Amino acid sequence: MFSRLWTTTLLAACCGAAAQAAPAEAAVPSIRAAEAYDASKLPDDPYGRLVRYGKELTERTFAYLGPEVKDKRMRYAGNNLSCASCHEAAGTKPFAIPWVGAFATFPQYRAREDEVSTLEERVNGCMERSMAGKPLPLGSREMKAFITYMHFLSRDVPTGARVQGQGLPAFNAPDRRADIAAGAKVYVEKCASCHGPEGAGVRPGAVGSSTGYTFPPLWGKDSFNNGAGMNRLLVASAFVKSNMPFGTTHAQPQLTDDQAYDVAAFALSHPRPVKANLERDFPARWNKPVDAAFPPYVTGAPAGQHKYGPYLPLQEKMKSLRDEAAGKAAGK
């Protein structure tokens, strides 16, 4: 029951398109093998060039939009991550928030804004949060390149259809507060070899060289900010369970649910860039995910419970708030 509740919330909050999925008779499209998304095979024409630039921007965001690029006007991202730090394999890895099909599911209702968002607005959501930066101008070549690349990845997916492996998988959160000390142990054993003992990642070049990371930081000043989806414990746990240590797939996870939950909590327990005006997120408060760990809190529970769980009681409280809101709307 909990996992069903949570699944619904994850889909509603993270990837709202679920509710508008394809007609039942349509087969669920799946993500194809990497060759299917080989942009180098496209002709050397305006579309092909823009798709290739979009892919390049995805994999090497830091080199074009990062805080260390020479042209100060292009410093839209506030950190040296790439989109592919999370949207692995340039947005083609199942269960790593792939972009295959993303073009087909926007515009969509988004709880964070409580309105229908376009794909461009969703890109800028990650620019301002995951990339701790500023929104890209809608008419910029870079925005067009991201959107065109996503169009290319989605070209087999019918409008409105949801691809298998889109977003993140449901995560069966243990019904307890996350154990940061246990997470620290998992971190040392399974994560620190790449992400570093201090979570600062590994850079291939000097600071200032805009060469990004070999292994991205998980916290600290060059990481995603506190308004990012990855800063929510249930989102980060789901990502880590299906994708980390690097090379892990959803079919063959290397961590238990408990380990993923605790290690994600350990990573999120450290400081990171702070986003202004987070209180404006989720204006329909009853729609706010329970693990969005910033005020205002409508459940009456302490802030720490939103950050570290247990989430089941919060899910139940939110459900009754939603039922109440629905009742009011129906004039009861």
| Alpha-carbon distance values, 39 to 35, 75, 152, 192, 317 (Å) | 9, 26, 8, 34, 47
DSSP at 293: -
Contact flags string 168-207 toward ligand HEC, x per CB under 6 A: ----------------------xx-xxx------------
Q: Does 234 bind ligand HEC (CB under 6 A)?
A: no
The residue at minimum Cβ distance from ligand HEC is 229
User: What are the DSSP calls for 102-165, one per residue?
Assistant: HHHH-SEEETTTTEEE-HHHHHHHHHHTTT-S-PPPTTSHHHHHHHHHHHHHTTTSPTT---BT
CA atoms within a 13 Å half-sphere pointing along the CA-CB vector of 32: 11
Contacts of 329 (CB under 8 A, 6+ apart): none
Scanning 40-48, 94-102, 278-286, 321-329 for contacts with ligand HEC by CB under 6 A, the matching segment is 94-102
Scanning 20-28, 99-107, 202-210, 314-322 for contacts with ligand HEC by CB under 6 A, the matching segment is 99-107
Q: Alpha-carbon distance 134 to 143, whole Å?
A: 12
Q: Alpha-carbon distance 291 to 5, whole Å?
A: 14
Q: Does 22 bind ligand HEC (CB under 6 A)?
A: no
Among 11, 39, 97, 104, binds ligand HEC (CB under 6 A): 97
Closest CB to ligand HEC among residues 193, 209:
193
Residues 108-167 that bind ligand HEC (CB under 6 A): 122-123, 126-127, 130-131, 146, 166-167
Q: Does 39 bind ligand HEC (CB under 6 A)?
A: no
| Alpha-carbon distance values, 235 to 20, 69, 240, 275, 321 (Å) | 21, 30, 9, 18, 22
Q: How far is the CB of 246 from ligand HEC (least distance, A)?
A: 3
CB atoms within 10 A of CB 44: 7
Closest CB to ligand HEC among residues 96, 314:
96
Q: How far is the CB of 103 from ligand HEC (least distance, A)?
A: 9
Contact flags string 44-83 toward ligand HEC, x per CB under 6 A: -----------------x-------------------x-x
Among 39, 50, 52, 85, binds ligand HEC (CB under 6 A): 85
Q: Alpha-carbon distance 70 to 56, whole Å?
A: 18
